[in-house]
Chain A
């Protein structure tokens, strides 16, 4: 069975600085997708960034980028120029290629200090 591990329950970053959130996963599949979601107190799950396993190039969305290491089964999220609005829970998630449901990590609570 696939698993997703986020080893950092909480992280803190100074406004305008850069922070990296860690995620590792375990799977025997070769075709899959990885996601990072942001969940603010409003509880809405917001898709931050997505990575297809067959793509070697790391995904980037504005200030958000990932470091995808397929062999190491690692998928970290880097947030550059952190803003107060980035404060939220961040969940790493895995989706098998033949499925549609997501398997989530336990989440990392990110605080941004002004």
Chain B
């Protein structure tokens, strides 16, 4: 198993601003994943973050809007840029180590 610390747990942001979400894992992992969960919906993969290379984005998500950093094997950040109310969602990071484990999630509200 893996323990993932994600922060902030929640935030309320003004439109047009950016928020950076951090995830720290208690062990080294090759891949980290970022998901978005819009209100009342299921989880959708935003991107896969590999250490030492550019993140791989899913269809509908672009690097300019969701830049990701992966400086080492235990840490990653996701930035939600130039936010609009449509970005109000829960954002979750995850690792796959014999199962798939998640951080606590970040509830983002854009006003």
Contacts and interface: CB of A to CB of B under 8 A. Distances in A.
Interface residues of B, number: 22
A43 B42 contact: no
Interface in B51-109: 90, 92, 94-96, 99-102, 104-105, 107
Interface stretch (A22-30, A65-73, A79-87, A101-109): A101-109
Contacts of B96: 95, 100-101
A66 B37 CA distance: 25
B45 interface: yes
In which size bucket is the chain A interface? 10 to 19
Interface in A48-94: 50, 91, 93
B42 A101 contact: no
B5 interface: no
B100 A100 contact: yes
A41 B94 CA distance: 19
B8 to A, nearest CB: 13
A77 to B, nearest CB: 15
A45 B101 CA distance: 8
Contacts, number: 52
B48 A101 contact: yes
Contact of A102 (B37, B41, B100, B105): B100
A101 B99 contact: no
Given A100-B33, A100-B96, A101-B33, A45 B105 contact: yes
Given A43-B107, A47-B100, A91 B33 contact: no
Interface of A: 35, 42-45, 47, 50, 91, 93, 95, 100-107
Given A47-B99, A100-B100, 8 more contacts: A35-B99, A43-B37, A45-B92, A100-B96, A102-B43, A105-B42, A106-B41, A106-B42
8 contacts: A43-B104, A43-B107, A45-B94, A47-B99, A91-B43, A95-B96, A100-B96, A104-B44
